[in-house]
Amino acid sequence: MLAAPYVVGVAHAGGNSFREQLRRKIEHIVVIFQENRSFDHYFGTFRPANGQRVTNLLDRAGRIDAKFLGLQTNPAGIPYPTLPLPYGRIPGFDAVELPNLPFHLAPYLPADSNVHWDPEHRFFRMMAEVNNGRMDRFVALALERRSKLSTAELAKLSPEELGFDLATPSGPVLGHYRAEDIPFYHQLAHRYVLFDRFYQAMSGGSTGNALYLVA
């Protein structure tokens, strides 16, 4: 999430001459709010200037942090040796073998390819993916099964069944883009304010979170 500089903590501040000066310099506030994308999908390898740090995929040496290796497990809790791939469902992944680790997505799916896919993110599915903070089931529960159920059939399922039994694993959800793939976003992040600790208001789809943002 991105916003204009010096906005946070300033708009309602008073009695501080420095803040008042900053406030007078603000002409526009622009918030870029993307749906169906994680922070790391765009900024997983972002490195701010002047020695600042953001919380993303990188360790202090600027490499993908080793703590992510083997993190993703199947529903039984067993780490995937390689990422499962949804053959035929997402272009570019039909003849690929990927380690169980976040990876550079552009060689398989360029940033401008406009492929419409994202992991399932309804309430019970998201709760199961987060798995009490372990964050280890995003691959296992990424996609819906092809079978379609009626509303009456869905109403009979428990939260556990909604979270697990209807899922299909998909390793591509660990893919991320780099600065060279989406330079405009990284230029904005360097120049303005990047919210690397902005959390969604609710587990679920975009509409509720968008309403919360503007409320």
Whether the per-residue pLDDT at 7 is higher than 80: the answer is no
Q: Is 101 within the bounds of a domain?
A: yes
- Characterize 131-170 residue by residue with b for buried, 16 or more Cβ atoms within 10 angstroms of its Cβ, and e for exposed: beeeebbbbbbbbeeeeeeeeeeeeeeeeeebbbebbebb
Measured distance CA(81)–CA(116) in Å, rounded = 27
What's the pLDDT tens digit per position in 38-54? 899 999 999 998 778 88
Q: How confident is the model at residue 163 (pLDDT cuts 50, 70, 90)?
A: low
Assigned token pair, 174: 């660990």
Q: What is the pLDDT at residue 5? A: 46
Task: Please give the helix or strand (H or E) that residue 144 lies within, else none.
Answer: strand 143-144
Residue the block writes with tokens 């379609």: 148
Please check whether residue 1 lies inside any domain of the structure. no
Q: How far apart are CA 11 and CA 101, in angstroms?
A: 41
Residue at 52: amino acid letter: Q
pTM metric for this prediction: 0.79
Contact 73, 135 (CB under 8 A): no
Evaluate whether residue 4 is within a structural domain.
no
Residue 25: the pLDDT is 84
Mean pLDDT, range 9-21, rounded to an integer: 64
Q: Is the pLDDT of residue 15 over 70?
A: no
Domain assignment of residue 140, given as a range: 40-210
- Report in angstroms the alpha-carbon separations of 8 from 4, 5, 12, 50: 9, 8, 9, 20
Question: Is 18 domain-assigned?
Answer: no
Residue 167 lies in a domain: yes
Identify whether 77 is part of a domain. Answer: yes
Is residue 180 predicted with pLDDT exceeding 90?
A: yes
User: Does a structural domain hold residue 131?
Assistant: yes
Residue 128, domain member (yes or no):
yes
8 Å CB contact between 32 and 165: no
Helix (H, G, I), strand (E, B) or coil at 42: helix
Indicate the number of domains in the chain: 1
